[in-house]
């Protein structure tokens, strides 16, 4: 739990740095922002890894070598495969996932689903040149609903992607946190897919957190847009989502903030 707090703090600090880099004299420093984005991703990964801490942290560590999916998530691979078929009709699966999501115990399972789905999305992303791929799985599910891809495409992709290893290898290096984001991705998928309000799970805690972070997000959204073509994992090509629809469980208060990084315009400042 402690490291979650720490990770959250580091994430906030990192975002603050990215924001400040906008106003710094001399323009945006690519090197520093790259490093900050790496820290941001690591922190997020740890933050979201609480249900899967052991395996996923190891996975994170081994990511750097540009691994295949299955290497990263040896335990999860089979699960991913297992849940592959139920996932095909993604829209239908959403309410299911949503329910699952609310129960923490089942979070892992739904997350696995999202693992693969995000993979597919990545592939979809890759094919479209101007799509900004959000490596983190949390945004990928949103891309399911993005105008560029039709749900049916996603479904097809899902079928093709029976083995996670085959996918999205084109941008290995940025995938630092894929597995750990499964929980968030579950969230994202729900809200993204149907643009319906996600059922609020949270306690009043969550609500307060969300509010606090919603205030930050507009700034953050701006800054990330300006920050530009940035680094994988930090940009999504998604359209705006109503802020109200994103509700998190009390445990992942930061998800709200980070999720709302997604509704950035597709304007990418060429850096």
Q: Closest approach of Cβ 252 to other proteins, in Å? A: 18
Piece of 27-35, 110-118, 151-159, 257-265 that binds other proteins (CB under 8 A): 27-35
Q: Does 271 bind other proteins (CB under 8 A)?
A: yes
Residue 130: CB atoms within 10 Å: 8
Q: At what angle do helices 151-160 and 90-102 cross, to 10 degrees?
A: 80
Distance separating the N- and C-terminal Cα atoms of the chain: 38
- Kindly write down the DSSP assignment for every residue of 174-217, as one continuous string: T-SSTGGGHHHHHHHHHHHHH-PPPPP---HHHHHHHHHHHHHH
Q: Does 127 bind other proteins (CB under 8 A)?
A: no
> Of 6, 92, 103, 208, which lies in the binding site for other proteins, with binding defined by CB under 8 A?
6
Closer to other proteins by Cβ: residue 113 or 234 = 234
Identified binder of other proteins from the candidate list 35, 55, 166, 199, rule CB under 8 A:
35
Give the DSSP H or E segment for 259.
Answer: helix 253-259
Q: Could you say whether residue 5 binds other proteins (CB under 8 A)?
A: no
Q: Is 143 in the site for other proteins (CB under 8 A)?
A: no
CA 53 to chain centre: 17
Are 142 and 192 in contact, with CB atoms under 8 Å apart? yes
| Contact between 93 and other proteins per CB under 8 A | no
C-beta of residue 194 within 8 angstroms of C-beta of residue 91: yes
Name the minimum Å distance from CB 194 to other proteins: 27
Residues 208-235, buried b or exposed e (16+ Cβ, 10 A)? ebbeebeebbeebbebbbbbbebbbbbb
Asked if 39 interacts with other proteins (CB under 8 A), we say yes
**Neighbour-count burial of 25, counting CB atoms closer than 10 A to its CB (0-12 exposed, 13-18 middle, 19+ buried):** exposed
13 scored as a contact of other proteins (CB under 8 A): yes
Q: What is the spatial distance between Cα 112 and Cα 246, in angstroms, rounded to a whole number?
A: 21
Select the span of 36-44, 83-91, 138-146, 257-265 touching other proteins (CB under 8 A).
36-44
Binder of other proteins out of 5, 32, 92, 265 (CB under 8 A): 32
Query: At what angle are helices 204-227 and 2-23 packed, to 10 degrees?
Result: 40
Among 15, 18, 43, 94, binds other proteins (CB under 8 A): 43
| 27 sits near other proteins (criterion: CB under 8 A) | yes
Closer by beta carbon to other proteins, 129 or else 204 = 129
Q: Does 133 bind other proteins (CB under 8 A)?
A: yes
Minimum distance from residue 31 beta carbon to other proteins (Å): 5
Site for other proteins in 217-236 (CB under 8 A): 228-235
Could you give the angle at which helices 53-63 and 30-47 cross, rounded to 10 degrees? 160
Tell me: does residue 46 bind other proteins (CB under 8 A).
yes
CB of 148 closer than 8 Å to CB of 124 = yes
Q: Contact residues for other proteins (CB under 8 A)? A: 6-7, 10, 13, 17, 25-32, 34-35, 38-39, 42-43, 46, 61, 64, 129, 132-133, 135, 171, 173-174, 228-235, 269, 271
């Amino acid at each position: 739990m402690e490291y979650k707090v720490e990770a959250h703090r580091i994430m906030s600090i990192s975002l603050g740095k990215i924001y400040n880099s906008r106003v710094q004299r001399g323009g945006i420093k690519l090197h520093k922002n790259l490093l900050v984005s790496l820290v941001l991703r690591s922190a997020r990964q740890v933050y979201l890894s609480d249900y899967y801490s052991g395996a996923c942290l190891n996975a994170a560590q081994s990511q750097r070598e540009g691994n295949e999916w299955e290497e990263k998530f040896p335990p999860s691979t089979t699960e991913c495969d297992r849940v592959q078929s139920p996932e095909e009709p993604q829209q239908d699966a959403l309410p299911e996932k949503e329910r699952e999501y609310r129960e923490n115990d089942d979070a892992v399972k739904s997350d696995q689903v999202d693992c693969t789905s995000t993979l597919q999305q990545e592939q979809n992303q890759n094919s479209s040149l101007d799509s900004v791929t959000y490596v983190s799985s949390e945004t990928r599910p949103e891309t399911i609903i993005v105008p560029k891809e039709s749900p049916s495409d996603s479904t097809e992709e899902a079928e093709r992607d029976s083995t996670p290893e085959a996918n999205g290898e084109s941008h290995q290096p940025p995938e630092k946190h894929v597995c750990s984001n499964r929980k968030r991705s579950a969230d994202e998928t729900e809200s993204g897919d149907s643009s319906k309000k996600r059922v609020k799970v949270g306690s009043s805690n969550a609500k307060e957190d969300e509010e606090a972070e919603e205030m930050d997000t507009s700034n953050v959204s701006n800054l990330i847009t300006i920050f530009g073509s940035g680094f994988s994992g930090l940009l999504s090509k998604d359209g705006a989502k109503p802020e109200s629809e994103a509700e998190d469980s009390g445990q992942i208060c930061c998800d709200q903030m980070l999720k709302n990084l997604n509704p950035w315009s597709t304007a990418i400042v060429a850096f």
